[in-house]
Amino acid sequence: MKIRKDDTVLVIAGKDKGKKGKVRFAYPKDGKVMVEGINFIKKHTRARGRVRQAGIIELEAPIHVSNVMLLCNRCNHPARIGFRFLEDGRRVRVCRSCHEVID
């Protein structure tokens, strides 16, 4: 996956379009990411014991990676990502607009 934990991303689709946030978790299997402050969903809860209160709580929900773009920390633009292999065989991500290595 092109997006990883701790990346800063820009939301490009959906109700949070235009917002930025840091990736809290990545779910490569599902192609989804959880982004700080993005995609709050309302959940109705019932009181369970003493801990939870009945009512509506807001939770962050994962969004699909196709709805976010990685923000390049060099040129500060939403980056199209390419890959490059280093001499030691490591594969790193490269910003296609400024050609800087992102990893």
The residues binding Zn ion (CB under 5 A) are 72, 74-75, 95, 97-98
Q: What is the distance between the alpha carbons of residues 51 and 91, in angstroms, rounded to a whole number?
A: 46
In angstroms, give the least distance from the CB of 76 to Zn ion: 7
Q: In this complex, which beta carbon is closest to Zn ion, that of residue 52 or of residue 74?
A: 74
Q: What is the DSSP code string of 47-82?
A: -BTTTBPSEEEEEE--EEGGGEEEBPTTT-SBPPEE
End-to-end CA distance of the chain: 13
DSSP-derived secondary structure letter, 101 = B
Q: Smallest gap, in angstroms, from Cβ of residue 29 to Zn ion?
A: 28
Residue with Cβ nearer Zn ion (11 or 69): 69
Q: Which of 30, 103 has the CB closer to Zn ion?
A: 103
Minimal distance, residue 39 CB to Zn ion, in Å: 25
